[in-house]
Amino acid sequence: MKTYNNIYLIGIGGIGMSALARWYHHAGCRVSGYDRTPSPVTRALESEGIAVHFEDNAVLIPPSPEDTLVIYTPAVPQDLGELTFARSRGYRTVKRSEALGEITDGHRCLAVAGTHGKTTTSTMLAHILTASGEGCTAFLGGISCNYGTNLLLSDSGVMVAEADEFDRSFLRLHPECAVITAMDADHMDIYRDMDDLREAFVQFGRQTSGHLVIHKGLEGYFTGKDIRAKIWTYGEGGDFSASGIVSDGQGRMYFTLNTPYGRIERCHAGVPGEVYIQNATAAAALALLHGTPEKSVRDGISSFRGVARRFDIRFDVPGHTYIDDYAHHPAELAATIASIRQVWPGRKICGVFQPHLYSRTRDLYREFGRSLSALDSLLLLPVYPAREEPLPGVSSSLIYEHCDMKDKRIVQKKELLEEIASRDTDILVTFGAGDIDRFTAPLENLLREKYA
């Protein structure tokens, strides 16, 4: 990989892009970049000495094409002025995934892929390795609550990477060991159909050289496909599984981890919910296959504090709880709601959901309706467009019409705080991958003033 003195990131405020910015900054490069709007992530980058601006202004790109690498996220428009300028003036321009592939090349890469669960699983794996004393450099798709960052640094030679299927980004990675958590319908604006999506995951499996851990039930897609890695399964009936799951009724859960090497008894899930125990099983499997001692795996699971916006318990007093979650796919919503029911049985759940992408809403509105119907009440926000233009006839109303609870409303963002203030909420959950996170702190403050 050629070295550059200047690294310029277009879309620097994205969670994956900001991890790259931090890595290059640590490596001694001059790092700067553009994003559309300020955010907690961009403010954190600026406090760390990384220059960020919020106007599409090519003059702010370092003026030396031969010594500047321009990295862009595929979420930015292809006709963005800065990106067009960089391409026309001879700068080397690469997607985030290509830069990550070059960084991890030549290292012992442990990667976590899947249409959901990959951020929590990769962050938990990175924490297990860090807490064990071995350490790792980790590029994470969320902010670790243990470390307050999406980048961990180590000279161990081990790298943990979240392998994103969007835009086929994960095919830039060639891991030593990998996990595949799920292959549900998603990003169907990228993939022709489910066969195309599954084939991309199979190709990712072909690029894994050592151990490949697959959620039980998916392994059939990988047989006879020229897979070099040894295949293991996790989940119920898999090579690695959890059993004896019990809750103490106060949010603490315990389980036994069953492995090909024996049983690890009395594991304590640092974050409650069966979905977290599934993620812990996957992370533990990869750590054990990597060679991490059993005690370190057990201790790492117990001391894991989660990921911001993943079952993120922001406020919890008797009778009133607020959870913020990134779920933006029907399977993720169903799993999170089921986990809440398991941890706090018998309580009433009010959910606030912001659909993410018109295309995903168009493709999955029936499934969204079924998943959200597990709530007691629902507040639906308008669709967050991200990189897309509106699609005719596609809105939150499609989901609304397929939710069968009586207490449901479509609300505008400007109405949300007043609506929540008028309700006596038991468990409040905010869901979504758009800008709904801008409401997390205001909602937490509102509930603290009301119930603390």
Which helix or strand (DSSP H or E) is residue 10 part of? strand 6-10
Distance of alpha carbon 62 from alpha carbon 60, whole angstroms: 6
Give the phi and the psi of residue 108 in degrees, each rounded to 5: -80, 100
List CB contacts of 193: < 8 A, sequence separation 6 or more: none
**Dihedral Cα 97, 103, 109, 114, nearest 10 deg:** -10
**Dihedral Cα 359, 360, 363, 366, nearest 10 deg:** -140
- pTM, rounded to two decimals: 0.88
Q: CB count, 10 Å around CB of 112?
A: 33
Domains of the chain: 6-95 (3.40.50.720), 106-303 (3.40.1190.10), 312-451 (3.90.190.20)
* Averaged pLDDT, groups of 10, the chain, 452 residues long: 91 96 98 94 97 97 97 92 98 97 96 95 98 98 96 98 93 97 83 94 97 97 91 97 85 91 92 90 98 97 93 93 95 93 92 96 97 98 92 98 97 97 97 94 96 88
pLDDT digits (tens, 9 = 90+) for 122-154: 999 999 999 999 999 999 999 999 999 999 999
Question: H helices within 39-140, ranges in order?
Answer: 40-47, 81-88, 96-104, 118-132
First to last CA, the chain: 54
Tokens standing for residue 422:
């008028």
